[in-house]
Structure 1
Amino acid sequence: MKLAFNEGTTWESASLQQNLEYCEKYGYDYIEIRAIDQLKDYLKENTLGDLKEYFDTHKIKPLSLNALCFFNNRTKEDEEKVIEEFKEYLEICKKIDCEYICVVPSNIDVTEKGKTLIEEINASCIRVLSHLSDLAKPYGVKIALEFIGIQENTVNTFSQAYNIVKDVNRDNVGLVYDTFQFTGMGSRFEDVTDETAEKIFIFHINDVDGYPVGQMRDTDRVWPGHGVIDLEAHLKRLKELKYDFVASVELFRPEYYQMDPEEVIKKAKETTLEVLEKYYK
């Protein structure tokens, strides 16, 4: 199992350049790049050529651009903007040899827009993801759908996300399996069947404080092994599915943003390896 670092973990405390240097120092294999902000900041003074050169001359490699946000159930105008953003991401992937783009479903404010039927949500996701798949195919890029385990998100369980990906039925469209998102809205292990194995593209590992289902938020995440998630159950299931690609640590805890980012990156690795070592080398 390879180890990756998601930049959300030092979102407010470190630049992409710092994250690269610290991840290289502490032996991470991959980094998930926050294309929505940290990459943009990096490109104010650097080029994609500079970034490619860094990856070419160091151990650390790009895992994904994270993320294309809120792609489904949009107005026609907003959807067109999402498509254009995705095209820009594809060009970035081409220039830095990045294989994955993570995509995040939309939140819906029911007080503003009213309720939306699951049938309408899933149909929108399938249609847009199919289009994105067509665009990504010539680039050799894969799309990883990350369901979001909060009530207001349109795709908030593993089962719903897998069924969408299954209906899209493209080799380059799969899932992000995130332990926090899985826990947040009570996704069920029985839905992680053998059939789902080939569609799990990226594994996000994290933990969370013990709030009820439906009340957990990103800011409640904690170091792996320091919360209430049964991480051993997740790892056991992934091992049974023969998943052995990457574990990417992703935390959004405000207290961690106040820490020295080097210490955060170091501790994130230590705590993740402590959990992984029972099942993976």
Structure 2
Amino acid sequence: MKLCYNQATTLENSNLVKDLEYCEKNGYDYIEIRTMDKLPEYLKDHTLDELKHFFQTNHIKPLALNALVFFNNRDEAGYKEIITEFKGMMETAKALNIPYVVAVPLVTEEKILKSEIKRSCVNVLTELSEIAKTYGVKVALEFIGHPQCTVNTFGQAYEIVEAVGRDNIGLVLDCFHFHAMGSNISDLEKADISKIFILHMDDTEDFPVSFLTDEDRVWPGHGAINLDQMLSILKEKGYSGAVSVELFRPEYYQLSAEEAIKTAKDTTVEVVSKHFTLETTK
């Protein structure tokens, strides 16, 4: 298993240049690049060619563009914006040789029937699949463990991916989101492991189900999630993708970027290495 860094972990105390420098120094294999903020910020003073050159001349490589946000149950104008944005992401993925794009479902106060959510997700993901296949890119649906997210459990997300039925459409399994809305561990036990493209590693304070927010995340192994149970299932089923550490902890944003990146690695390795061999370089 290879180790990846998600830029959310230093969202408020770093940038793409520093994240790449410190991730390379600390032996990460991959990085998930935030397209909402960190990549546009980088491109104000740099070019995609510069970023491509960095990846060509260093060990670390890009794993995913994160993320295509709120892709489902949009009005006509919103739907067209999503398709246009995704096509732009495909060009970026092609330029940087990025294998995955993460897609995040709509978060809304509006009550939408689950049947309508599924219908919309399946339709849009099927179209994204068609666009992505010409680029050799895969789309990873990330369910969000929050009551107001339209797709908020592993079982619901897996059902959508199964309905799409395309090899380039799969899932992000985020341990926090799995725990936060009480996803059923039996759904993970029954899942086709090839449908899980990326594993997000994190932990959380012990608040009740449906009350957790991203700010409650803590270093892996420092919280209430039964990570050993999840990792043992993934190991038994033959998961071979990357593990990407993703935290949104405000107090961690007070650390230096390098300290946060190093601690994120150390805590992730400590938890994951009980079950998988991590191919880290340092």
| Normalised TM-score (structure 1) | 0.98
Which residue number in structure 2 is paired with residue 152 of structure 1? 148
The answer on 1:242 being equivalent to 2:244 is: no
Give, in angstroms, the shift of residue 194 of structure 1. Answer: 4.3
The answer on 1:212 being equivalent to 2:208 is: yes
C-alpha separation in 1, matches of 2:117 and 2:241: 30
SS at match of 2:235: helix
Task: State whether residues 63 and 100 of structure 2, in contact with CA within 8 Å, keep that contact through their aligned partners in structure 1.
Answer: yes
C-alpha separation in 2, matches of 1:235 and 1:150: 22
Which residue number in structure 2 is paired with residue 26 of structure 1? 26
C-alpha separation in 2, matches of 1:264 and 1:52: 25
The answer on 1:251 being equivalent to 2:247 is: yes
Structure 1 vs Structure 2 CA RMSD:
0.7
Q: Trace 1:30-109 onto structure 2 (pairs within 5 A).
A: 30-109=30-109
Give, in angstroms, the shift of residue 23 of structure 1. Answer: 0.1
Alignment counterpart, residue 136 of structure 1, candidates 120, 132, 137: 132
C-alpha separation in 1, matches of 2:202 and 2:189: 22
Give, in angstroms, the shift of residue 196 of structure 1. Answer: 2.3
C-alpha separation in 1, matches of 2:56 and 2:220: 30
Task: State whether residues 177 and 202 of structure 1, in contact with CA within 8 Å, keep that contact through their aligned partners in structure 2.
Answer: yes
Give, in angstroms, the shift of residue 280 of structure 1. Answer: 1.0
Q: Which runs of 5+ in 1 are unaligned?
A: none
C-alpha separation in 1, matches of 2:69 and 2:183: 21
Deviations 1:200-243 (A, max 9, x none): 00000000000000000001000000000001001001001100
Task: State whether residues 189 and 233 of structure 2, in contact with CA within 8 Å, keep that contact through their aligned partners in structure 1.
Answer: no
Q: Trace 1:228-239 onto structure 2 (pairs within 5 A).
A: 228-239=224-235
Give, in angstroms, the shift of residue 135 of structure 1. Answer: 0.5
SS at match of 2:192: helix
Q: Which runs of 5+ in 2 are unaligned?
A: 278-282
The answer on 1:15 being equivalent to 2:26 is: no
Which residue number in structure 2 is paired with residue 225 of structure 1? 221
Task: State whether residues 162 and 196 of structure 1, in contact with CA within 8 Å, keep that contact through their aligned partners in structure 2.
Answer: no
Deviations 1:12-48 (A, max 9, x none): 1101000000000000000000011100000001111
Which residue number in structure 2 is paired with residue 186 of structure 1? 182
Task: State whether residues 205 and 250 of structure 1, in contact with CA within 8 Å, keep that contact through their aligned partners in structure 2.
Answer: yes
Task: State whether residues 194 and 241 of structure 1, in contact with CA within 8 Å, keep that contact through their aligned partners in structure 2.
Answer: no
Aligned-partner residue type, residue 27 of structure 2: G
C-alpha separation in 1, matches of 2:273 and 2:173: 19
C-alpha separation in 1, matches of 2:183 and 2:52: 38
Divergent runs of 4+, >4 A: none
The answer on 1:118 being equivalent to 2:114 is: yes
Which residue number in structure 1 is paired with residue 280 of structure 2? none
Aligned-partner residue type, residue 40 of structure 2: K
SS at match of 1:151: coil
Task: State whether residues 175 and 201 of structure 1, in contact with CA within 8 Å, keep that contact through their aligned partners in structure 2.
Answer: yes
C-alpha separation in 2, matches of 1:195 and 1:204: 17
Which residue number in structure 2 is paired with residue 172 of structure 1? 168
118-127 or 240-249: which moved more? 240-249
SS at match of 1:139: coil
Give, in angstroms, the shift of residue 193 of structure 1. Answer: 3.4
Percent identity at matched positions? 53
Which residue number in structure 2 is paired with residue 198 of structure 1? 194
C-alpha separation in 1, matches of 2:13 and 2:64: 20
Task: State whether residues 94 and 135 of structure 2, in contact with CA within 8 Å, keep that contact through their aligned partners in structure 1.
Answer: yes
Task: State whether residues 145 and 180 of structure 2, in contact with CA within 8 Å, keep that contact through their aligned partners in structure 1.
Answer: yes
SS at match of 1:171: coil
